[in-house]
Chains A and B, each alone.
Chain A
Amino acid sequence: MKVSFILNGEPVTVDVKPNETLLDTLRLKLNIKSVKRGCERAECGACTVLVDGRPTYSCNLLTAQVEGKEVTTLEGLRDDPIVKELTSKFVERGAIQCGFCTPGFIITAYALLKSGKELTPENVKKMLEGNICRCTGYKKIIEAVTAAAEALKK
């Protein structure tokens, strides 16, 4: 079946199977590799994308469900000032080890910063709860997101 949606600002139409997940369509048909396959069960968050601006697990969504919607991945946000601030803070603060979970964290954190919510370490933790990192113990990730928020305020 054909599905049309907006991917990183550009309209795309892809031929997919009815049971195909957005994760597979992005990785295997649209060459979007920042979206990672971790658990395929909506637990780890490595496959997080934005659907109409909201962080969503792409492994838990059929491509057919995004018909007409806007899908955003890191590939489409590389020049965004919030993402630039986030990536530079992740690098500086040592928030990256194996890096497999990192794009998912950055997408989720981007949505948090974009929302304009007042940031406390507690709501940063709450917002990032749906992303698993097995390397860092999260401390430096939380510090990086908080530092990016501080820097963007100025």
Chain B
Amino acid sequence: MALTEDPYTLISKWLHAKEFLVVGKGIARADALDKALGTAKFVEDYFQEGMLFVKQVLSTEPHAKILRVRDEEALKVPKVVKVFTARDIPGENQVGYALPDQPLIAEGKVRYHGELVALVAAEDIDAALRAAELVKVDYDPLPYVLDPLEALERKDVLVHEEVGSNIAFRTKVRKGNVEEGFSEADVIVENEYRTHHQDHVYLETEGALAIPGLDGRLTVVTAAQYPHLAQSIIARVLGVPASSIKVVVPFMGGGFGGKDDEGPLTAAKAALVAHLTGRPAFILYTREESLRMHPKREATIIKYKSGATKDGKLTAIDVKIIHDTGAYANRGPFILWRATVHASGPYEVPHARVEGYCVYTNKVYQGSFRGFGNPSVQFAAEMQMNELARKLGMDPVEFRLKNMLRPGSRTITNQLLEESVGIAEAVEKLAEKVNWAKRRAECESFKGRYRRGIGIGVAWHGISTSRGVPDWSNAYVKIDKDGSVSMFTGIVEMGQGSPNSSHRQIVAEILGAPLEKVKVVFGTSDAPDAGATHASRGTSIGAIGVLVAAARVRERLNKLAAELLGCKPEDVEIKNGVVRAKGTGKELSWDELIKQAYARGVDLSATGYFFLPKGKFNDELGQGQAYPAFSYVAMIAEVEVDTWTGKVRVLRIWPALAAGRIINPQQVEGQIEGAAVQGMGYVLMEQFVFDNKGRILNADLTDYVVPTTLDIPEIEKPVYVEDLFKYGPFGAKGVGEMALIPAPAAIAGAVSHALGKPITKLPLTPEAVYFELRKGGST
């Protein structure tokens, strides 16, 4: 390989570009008009009558042996084709991500109310619904456990007997000597925090259509956030090679992490039926099924002790994190790792002890959701910071700035942060923009029924997978003879926009091709594996492959153009389809250049593989490099609390982001605004109600309430600090999850300020606030 095609050289060359054609501009998304007109296709739009419809039979017990699945009555329904159970699975009935503890279809026993027990396939939807009701399951109920603290103690009730306890996974971080740290502290704050489940409520529920034989393989059209993962899970369940499965992810009606977990399982269910019947099979979750079955944001108990000196320096933290993982580990261990290594918040702490427990219970399991274990632990860490500041008589922003991570700081895992740490500057600018001290004093002047409060949340979020877990990027680019450019990626389009905005801009920027000639083909397992569209990586890690592939072709085009124009390759400029030799006035068109490339044997296709360099992490010591870089975020929220009813209104939100290069400011704003409102819903409105069998009682959008237009605050323009990441495309770090992470801390902090009371438990529904206010007889 020629030196100029080395990925490190190319990434660095474009990182240091001085001026940009399209990067940094709020260019409209390529998919926007089709979506506005309703012509953009989602999974269900590919369903046609005549295909098999698949309906799920769910467990009605929280924990029970399955004695028998009786399908005789169901099979009598006209047009019913077959009822499938675990024993019909030709490959492995094993779909656990982090641990091999989870079947696709329950086998032997069920572990939560709502678990999949059987699939019914029928010629039409009504027949499938009727038959599913007629499938009778004989259960032998087992004792069950719903509370994670109880589950930790019980040895007689085990969700997974083979584990020997209900602890699925443990994590730890150790730094310095915590006892010594607390002995140096002048103030100590100790609290127990509780946070609750949250559902993604993507507007499109889970669905998949599997078509045997299309394109020579079993093709599955599905809503999964990682086509290659769906491909490998389907292959495992069917017992066939991955090469015989093709996964296509069309436009997705929202994901937020939920379809990273449930997407591949949905796909595997449709694929199983299609594979066994030889016919196209379609599955679509009802909203009720979606709410009952798919993994939720982790519910947590966090015990947090922290100390600081009287001049405002943190000395130590001691944190115990308990995640209620529900019936299966799913990605729980990874979620717990993320919570554990971020437990300090974005601050320097000389002594730290963090212990994490991922605990099984007989409830719906936990999974990936925007923030991935971080919003809950940042909430706890930030509430601690507020209390420490109050005890010290310091302003909470000033106290935070005294301890904030900066270039040269070491994290609680002793990772040295050499660069790309822009959070202190972001917080300073944000506080100035908000006029923090003045506004805070103004809030305190509200004394009547309606109180005002202001709060700040500051957070960090590691980019890429935790610790040393391998991560990479890739993509494939080709230029056709007419000069049109196709970039193929496994990154999906779930609304975040990376393929249709930032990837397209990156390709147009690097090649100099007109934007309208660039098409990004997304979400296909036929593209090289680019990793998942999760962890805010679509435009960061996910686009490195896009950048490298395009940059390789650009090097070849520079060389060709230099020959044609009689100049040096470094003097070739390609802008919006015009190719020039700098300073000579000589030029040719993009289309002509591409024609010449075809005529002269220049390869206009390339892949962009990049393996992200990572340091070492020692799981035993809980020390080492946790992430190659961190994105940082801060949020200030102002609230009004009605002390008569307990109702909280968020009036205004001010966000700040230090996430490297902003490739498309309009799309980044969209991510921030959406995440802030989803975070607000989490804090104030959204909660599941479980009955005494662990059944979700409010599995519909009437009783699981999400924000509407009438609930939203004013959201101000974000403050950006572009702290470039050396391996990011043009220096970009992750954005998608960021603004949700500090939202609980900012909003709960503001409520706490308004009420003059610490807040340790979410959600802050009117009734919760009402009773909190009346606790201890005040107000």
Residue from B38, B204, B494, B709 in contact with A33 in the complex, judged by beta carbons closer than 8 Å: B38
Is A12 engaged at the interface, CB distance under 8 Å to the other chain? no
Main secondary structure of the interface of B (DSSP, over half): loop
Interface residues of A in 3-55 (CB under 8 A from B): 17, 27-28, 33-41, 43-44, 46
Contact (Cβ within 8 A) A99 B36: yes
A-side interface size class: 35 or more
A139 to B669, CA, bound (A): 10
Known: A40-B287, A98-B202. A136 touches B667 (CB 8 A): no
Known: A94-B670, A132-B203. A102 touches B35 (CB 8 A): yes
Contact (Cβ within 8 A) A126 B710: yes
1/0 per residue, CB under 8 A from A, across B199-211: the answer is: 0111111000000
Residue from B495, B675, B700, B701 in contact with A99 in the complex, judged by beta carbons closer than 8 Å: B495
Question: Which residue from chain A places its CB closest to the CB of B668 in the assembled complex?
Answer: A94
Known: A41-B702, A100-B254. A134 touches B201 (CB 8 A): yes
Contact (Cβ within 8 A) B710 A38: no
Known: A40-B286, A44-B701, A126-B710. A92 touches B28 (CB 8 A): yes
Shortest CB distance B499–A (Å): 13
Is A71 engaged at the interface, CB distance under 8 Å to the other chain? no
Shortest CB distance B48–A (Å): 8
Contact (Cβ within 8 A) B701 A43: yes
Interface residues of A in 58-95 (CB under 8 A from B): 73-75, 78, 86-87, 90-92, 94
Contacts of B669 in A (CB 8 A): 94, 140
Is A128 engaged at the interface, CB distance under 8 Å to the other chain? yes
Known: A100-B42, A101-B203, A132-B708. A138 touches B677 (CB 8 A): yes
Contact (Cβ within 8 A) B203 A142: no
Question: Which residue from chain A places its CB closest to the CB of B667 in the assembled complex?
Answer: A94
Is A119 engaged at the interface, CB distance under 8 Å to the other chain? no
A125 to B701, CA, bound (A): 20
Contact (Cβ within 8 A) B702 A135: no
Is B678 engaged at the interface, CB distance under 8 Å to the other chain? yes
Is A137 engaged at the interface, CB distance under 8 Å to the other chain? yes
A41 to B705, CA, bound (A): 13
Contact (Cβ within 8 A) A135 B41: no
Is B477 engaged at the interface, CB distance under 8 Å to the other chain? no
Contacts of B28 in A (CB 8 A): 91-92, 94
Is B517 engaged at the interface, CB distance under 8 Å to the other chain? no
Contact (Cβ within 8 A) B36 A97: no
Shortest CB distance A20–B (Å): 10
Question: Which residue from chain A places its CB closest to the CB of B38 in the assembled complex?
Answer: A34
Question: Which residue from chain B places its CB closest to the CB of A130 in the assembled complex?
Answer: B708
Contacts of B44 in A (CB 8 A): 27, 37
Is B276 engaged at the interface, CB distance under 8 Å to the other chain? no
Interface residues of B in 690-735 (CB under 8 A from A): 700-702, 706-710, 712, 715
A125 to B707, CA, bound (A): 12
Contact (Cβ within 8 A) B32 A128: no
Is B261 engaged at the interface, CB distance under 8 Å to the other chain? no
Is B538 engaged at the interface, CB distance under 8 Å to the other chain? no
A124 to B42, CA, bound (A): 28
Is A149 engaged at the interface, CB distance under 8 Å to the other chain? no
Contact (Cβ within 8 A) B38 A102: yes
Is A113 engaged at the interface, CB distance under 8 Å to the other chain? no
Contact (Cβ within 8 A) A98 B494: yes
Contact (Cβ within 8 A) A34 B39: yes
Residue from A87, A98, A131 in contact with B37 in the complex, judged by beta carbons closer than 8 Å: A87
Is B161 engaged at the interface, CB distance under 8 Å to the other chain? no
Is B251 engaged at the interface, CB distance under 8 Å to the other chain? yes
Known: A99-B36, A103-B38, A129-B710. A134 touches B715 (CB 8 A): no
Is B31 engaged at the interface, CB distance under 8 Å to the other chain? yes
Contacts of A125 in B (CB 8 A): 709-710, 712
Contacts of A142 in B (CB 8 A): 709
Question: Which residue from chain B places its CB closest to the CB of A103 in the assembled complex?
Answer: B38
Contacts of B678 in A (CB 8 A): 134, 137
Shortest CB distance B18–A (Å): 27
Shortest CB distance A83–B (Å): 8
Question: Which residue from chain A places its CB closest to the CB of B708 in the assembled complex?
Answer: A129
Contacts of A87 in B (CB 8 A): 33, 36-37
Known: A87-B36, A87-B37, A134-B203. A140 touches B708 (CB 8 A): no
Question: Which residue from chain B places its CB closest to the CB of A32 in the assembled complex?
Answer: B38
Is B666 engaged at the interface, CB distance under 8 Å to the other chain? yes
A86 to B706, CA, bound (A): 25
Main secondary structure of the interface of A (DSSP, over half): loop
Known: A40-B286, A137-B678. A97 touches B670 (CB 8 A): yes
A153 to B701, CA, bound (A): 36
Interface residues of B in 239-282 (CB under 8 A from A): 251-256
Is B49 engaged at the interface, CB distance under 8 Å to the other chain? yes
Contacts of B299 in A (CB 8 A): none
A135 to B33, CA, bound (A): 17
Residue from B36, B675, B715 in contact with A96 in the complex, judged by beta carbons closer than 8 Å: B36
Scoring A39, A126, A128 by chain B CB atoms within 10 A of each residue's CB, the highest score goes to: A39
Is B26 engaged at the interface, CB distance under 8 Å to the other chain? yes
Known: A91-B28, A102-B38. A43 touches B203 (CB 8 A): no
Residue from A41, A102, A129, A130 in contact with B700 in the complex, judged by beta carbons closer than 8 Å: A41
Contacts of B676 in A (CB 8 A): 137
A144 to B430, CA, bound (A): 27
Known: A41-B701, A97-B497. A136 touches B673 (CB 8 A): yes
A137 to B673, CA, bound (A): 5
Residue from A35, A91, A100 in contact with B33 in the complex, judged by beta carbons closer than 8 Å: A91
1/0 per residue, CB under 8 A from A, across B328-342: the answer is: 000000000000000
Contact (Cβ within 8 A) B710 A99: no
Contacts of B667 in A (CB 8 A): 94
Contacts of A86 in B (CB 8 A): 36
Contact (Cβ within 8 A) B31 A99: yes
Contact (Cβ within 8 A) B253 A100: yes
Contacts of A131 in B (CB 8 A): 708-709
Shortest CB distance A19–B (Å): 9
A94 to B710, CA, bound (A): 20
Contacts of A75 in B (CB 8 A): 38
Shortest CB distance A57–B (Å): 12
Contact (Cβ within 8 A) A44 B495: no
Contact (Cβ within 8 A) A90 B38: no
Question: Which residue from chain A places its CB closest to the CB of B254 in the assembled complex?
Answer: A98
A102 to B253, CA, bound (A): 10
Contact (Cβ within 8 A) A41 B287: yes
Is B29 engaged at the interface, CB distance under 8 Å to the other chain? yes
Shortest CB distance B357–A (Å): 31
Contact (Cβ within 8 A) A139 B712: yes
Contacts of B253 in A (CB 8 A): 36, 98-101
Contacts of B35 in A (CB 8 A): 96, 98-99, 102
Residue from B126, B495, B708, B709 in contact with A135 in the complex, judged by beta carbons closer than 8 Å: B495
Question: Which residue from chain A places its CB closest to the CB of B672 in the assembled complex?
Answer: A137
A39 to B289, CA, bound (A): 11
Is B384 engaged at the interface, CB distance under 8 Å to the other chain? no
Shortest CB distance A24–B (Å): 8
Is B620 engaged at the interface, CB distance under 8 Å to the other chain? no
A46 to B287, CA, bound (A): 13
Question: Which residue from chain B places its CB closest to the CB of A128 in the assembled complex?
Answer: B709
Is B215 engaged at the interface, CB distance under 8 Å to the other chain? no
A102 to B34, CA, bound (A): 10
Those 5 A-B pairs whose CB atoms lie nearest each other, nearest first: A34-B38, A99-B35, A98-B495, A100-B253, A137-B677
- 6 A–B contact pairs at CB < 8 A? A17-B126, A33-B41, A98-B252, A125-B710, A132-B706, A138-B677
Known: A34-B38, A98-B35, A99-B36. 7 other contacts (CB 8 A): A39-B287, A41-B702, A74-B38, A96-B35, A124-B709, A137-B675, A142-B709
